[in-house]
Amino acid sequence: MLTQDKPQPSKASSLIETQSQQGVAHSRMQPAYVVLTGNPNSGKTTVFNALTGLRARVGNYAGVTVERKEGKLQGTPGDLPITVLDLPGTYSLSPQSLDEQVARDVLFHRLSEVPAPCLVIVVVDASNLERNLYFATQVVELGYPTIIGLNMVDVAAANGHTIDAEKLSKELCVTVLPLVANTSEGIPELRKGIVDFVRDPKRAAPKQFCELPPAISKEIEPISDLLAKTFHQRHTSAHAEALLILSDEKFLRGSAAHYPTNIVQSVEAARTRIDTSGLDWRSAAIEARYVHIARIQQNVTSDCGLSGENFSDKLDRIVTHRFWGMLIFIAIMAVMFLSIFTLAPIPMDLLKNGFKFAGDAVGNAMPPGDLRDLLVNGIIQGVGAVVVFLPQICLLFFFIGLLEDTGYMARAAFLMDRLMSKVGLHGKSFIPMLSSFACAIPGIMATRTIETPKDRLVTILVAPLMSCSARLPVYILIIAAMFPDRQLMASLTMLSMYLLGIVVALLMAWLFKKTLLKGETPMLVMELPPYKRPLARIVARHMWDRSKLFLRKAGTVILGINILLWFLASYPRHTTTHPTTNVAAASQTHAASARTASSERVRNSFAGMAGRALEPIIKPLGFDWKIGIGLVSSFAAREVFVSTMSIVYNVAENTDEGAHTRDLAQVLRDEKRPDGTAVYTTLTCLSLMVFYVLAMQCISTVAVVRRETNSWKWPLFQWVYMGVLAWTFAFAVYHGGHLLGFQ
């Protein structure tokens, strides 16, 4: 694909000065710090995963909520520890969002907890070379030793463009390595280049890629001198920083550097003099850089003779069509949910049988008593009632990973922009909302990419309305009680719950934008990445990571809640007396007597008292006090509702002979009120699912909203408005259905 051979390390070494840094010794206690940066959708994260083996330590930068992801470079000697830090994607060193601001401050060594990088890897999308080179040239000008990872050269070739990597290397005066990151092509060479540099570090030669007008050039020098005097330990070029400060009106306000007054005054005075000369200090440097970049691109790129639309363009004409695109999106969602119900039953049955076997074994091995009851009901069957949904969780994240890896998710955001613009938001808000289908917490954290504070807050307020994976076990259980062996109806019901969350989120966003958080509707400018073949290992890793979090939660949070709930549902103990003269009652089956006694025990327990206290509020929704116990317990975690119902209905029936497991969905179908009518009618089930779609039942999400907004006002407001929504919609479903003649 390339017109010349890839540059060898020996050739690349001639492009940087051979003067070694003195006193640079990387010991075991001081790992080398390599920073990975680049534009969004350039394949930067794929490169990071390839370098670190898909394993990274994830946390937040101190004082901000931007995710910090770093990992150890794989394949390096034990005496040469190298840490790779993956920065948030950014289009330039003039940030528009919190993510981009953090990326800029790391490169300027303005965050004390992040060491100055000894090497910077800039990932460049070869199929969008001109746009990517803008940021790449800015980074090279900072003065760090730099390697350009020229990614997606296969996509560029498919589009009819061949890039000469060696010519580009000479133009930029840094090493350029061609990559196809999703197939690991070029990754070994990049890894070797990193290791070679860390073993023998070199200083980078100063470089400037744009010829500035004299009126601007003369103003940069005094600012550069002030910066050099103010920040004694320089890791970056003072000249490049001075140019950014002068040409970016947001730089002084947003930087973590907290520039002193004399620098701020000098910059403002310089801007005034430039305005007087007739130049625009905001655009002059940008225009000059693009002129130089256009020349570089022309010198290093050749046309392969291909013309017309490429495959991605042709496919996008259908996938992003106003009408067909939306139908395709709905069809994909429907197929996904249908697959969840048709493919998962076999592994789910295996898990059910496994927990049944464990419950029976423990029940048969132990004498009757509280300890056996705790182990069988509280732990084995309680946790098992949630873990049994793992196959469907895996399938959900398999499809999400597949859609992300193919590039379809960006098209979904583009499609939704047309709809979201009508409620005052743009497609950037859809990405966090889409992430919230997995979990609202990363979805809320993803709002950091939204530039406008009001739009970000609106997105935070409506993101939890998306049906997260924690709701999935609740939906599946209730749908199984409604439609046993009717997979098509089950799939359509599931799809309707997800669509309900989306529609209500958009309506609430429109209401907030018209009232509390008024503001203009921003325009969406986004890049659609090329379609690509999904990699099984990437999709499988995504599925496993999410499933592992689900299992970890089941083994910690849900286990602890179940033990507490078992205690609340078992105590205080009450002695139940039965008339001995009733021969018919005495002749009832042992299992039926056990169920009756268990129901009375739960009713008079602490949990039963709480449920009965809540019953007047939830009775208009068709719920009884047992459902009330599930609603209260699931405020800690929504999926706890399933294990709560398992404990409340005593799914593992304890008898003197042992434990016998019943199917929870069947138990719900058989549950009767005192008057003999069914509790879980179709309307009650629909009302309950609607409540779970709209209610804020996640303490962790409340805590994250508190951290993101730095106030208790908004999370409390969110909790109240979602609770009112949930009660109102559930009431409307239950009573509206009765008016229409449904049961």
Name the 3-class secondary structure at 400. Answer: helix
Q: Provide the CA 604 distance to its chain's centre, in angstroms.
A: 43
Cα separation, 264 vs 283, whole angstroms: 20
Tell me the per-residue pLDDT of 558-583, one tens digit each, with 9 for 90 and over.
778 778 878 887 788 665 444 444 44
Candidates 26, 35, 341, 306; CA nearest to 155 is 306
Find, among 223, 187, 236, 211, the residue nearest to 292 by Cα. Answer: 211
Q: SS in 3 state form for 718-743? A: HHHHHHHHHHHHHHHHHHHHHHCCCC
Task: Report yes or no on whether pTM surpasses 0.75.
Answer: no
Could you tell me which of 62, 86, 94, 85 has the C-alpha nearest to residue 451? 94
Distance CA(397)–CA(339), nearest Å, equals 12
Residue pair 173/140 in contact (Cβ under 8 Å)? The answer is: yes
- Of the pLDDT bands very low, low, confident and very high (cuts 50, 70, 90), residue 6 is very low
- C-alpha torsion sign, points 301, 303, 309, 314: negative
Q: Per-residue b/e over 615-634, b at no fewer than 16 CB within 10 Å?
A: eeebeebbbbbbbbbbbbbb
Distance between CA atoms of residues 129 and 126, nearest Å = 5
**Is residue 245 classed as helix, strand or coil in its secondary structure?**
helix
The pLDDT confidence band at residue 619, using thresholds 50, 70 and 90, is very high
Rounded Cα distance between 270 and 264, Å, is 10
How far is CA 307 from its chain centroid?
A: 38
Biggest CA–CA distance in the chain, Å, is 109
- Which pLDDT tens digit goes with each residue over 507-519? 998 899 888 887 6
Q: Coil, helix or strand for 343?
A: helix
Phi (first) and psi of residue 428, to 5 degrees: -65, -25
Other C-beta atoms closer than 10 Å to the C-beta of 652 total 29
Given a contact cutoff of 8 angstroms between Cβ atoms, the answer to whether 462 and 509 are in contact is yes
Each residue of 698-715: pLDDT tens digit?
888 888 888 788 889 999
Tens digit of each residue's pLDDT (9 = 90 or more) over 192-222: 999 988 888 877 666 777 778 888 888 888 8
**H or E, element range at 629:** helix 625-633
Pairing of strands 175-178, 146-151: parallel
Q: What is the DSSP letter of 527?
A: -
Per-residue model confidence (pLDDT) at position 37: 92
Nearest to 477 by CA among 729, 694, 689: 689
Range in 230-244, 409-423, 452-466, 566-580 the model is least confident about: 566-580
Cα–chain center distance at 351: 28
Give the up-direction half-sphere exposure of residue 512: CA atoms within 13 A in the CB hemisphere: 21
User: Mean of the pLDDT values across residues 664-668?
Assistant: 86
- Cβ partners under 8 Å of residue 593, min gap 6: none
What span, in angstroms and rounded, lies between the C-alpha atoms of 72 and 602?
52
Which of 48-57, 339-348, 587-596, 603-612: highest mean pLDDT?
A: 603-612
Can you state the percent helix, strand and coil of the chain, rounding each to 5? 60, 10, 30
* φ, ψ at 228 (rounded to 5°): -65, -35
Of the chain, the percentage scoring pLDDT greater than 90 comes to 15
Whether 658 shows a pLDDT value over 60: the answer reads no
Contacts of 660 (CB under 8 A, 6+ apart): 360, 591, 652, 653
* Burial of 64: CB neighbours in 10 Å, binned 0-12, 13-18, 19+: middle
- Asked if residues 618 and 628 have their Cβ atoms less than 8 Å apart, the reply is yes
Given a cut of 60, whether residue 11 has pLDDT beyond it is no
Domain ranges of the chain: 9-199, 324-355+362-514, 538-574+591-739
Of residues 6 and 188, more confidence is placed in 188
Q: Are 3 and 164 in contact (CB under 8 A)?
A: yes
Tell me the residue type at 330: I
**C-alpha atoms less than 13 angstroms from C-alpha of 677 in its C-beta half-sphere:** 9
Q: Which residue has the higher pLDDT, 237 or 724?
A: 724
Q: What percent of the chain has pLDDT over 70?
A: 82
Gyration radius of the chain's alpha carbons: 31
The superfamily (CATH) of domain 9-199 is P-loop containing nucleotide triphosphate hydrolases (3.40.50.300)
Cβ atoms 699, 636 nearer than 8 A? yes
C-alpha triplet 280, 286, 288: angle, nearest 5°: 95
DSSP character at residue 347: H
